Chains A and B, each alone.
Chain A
Amino acid sequence: LKEKHKILHRLLQNSSSPVDL
Chain B
Amino acid sequence: PQVADQKTLAKQIYEAYLKNFNMNKSKARTILTGKTSTPPFVIHDMETLQLAEQTLVAKMVGSSGALLNKDAEVRIFHCCQCTSVETVTELTEFAKSVPGFSNLDLNDQVTLLKYGVHEALFAMLASCMNKDGLLVAHGSGFITREFLKSLRRPFSQMMEPKFQFAMKFNSLELDDSDLALFVAAIICCGDRPGLVNVPHIERMQESIVNVLHLHLKSNHPDNEFLFPKLLQKLVDLRQLVTEHAQLVQEIKKTEDTSLHPLLQEIYRDMY
What is A's interface to B at a CB cutoff of 8 Å? 1-2, 4-9, 11-13, 15, 18-19, 21
Contacts and interface: CB of A to CB of B under 8 A. Distances in A.
Contacts of A21: 59-60, 63, 82, 85-86, 260
**Looking at chain B's contact residues, is the secondary structure mostly helix, strand, loop, or mixed?**
helix
A10 B261 CA distance: 13
Q: Categorize the interface residue count of chain B.
A: 20 to 34
Nearest to A11: B92
The binding surface of chain A is classed by DSSP as helix
Contacts of B86: 21
Contact of A8 (B63, B113, B194): B113
Given A1-B194, A4-B265, A12 B85 contact: no
B22 interface: no
B35 to A, nearest CB: 30
B96 interface: yes
Contacts of A6: 265
Contacts of B88: 11
B89 A1 contact: no
Given A12-B96, A12-B109, A5 B82 contact: no
A7 B261 CA distance: 8
B265 A12 contact: no
Given A19-B89, A21-B63, A1 B262 contact: no
A8 B92 contact: yes
A7 B260 CA distance: 11
Contacts of B261: 7
B107 A15 contact: no
Most chain B beta-carbon neighbours within 10 Å: one of A2, A5, A9: A5
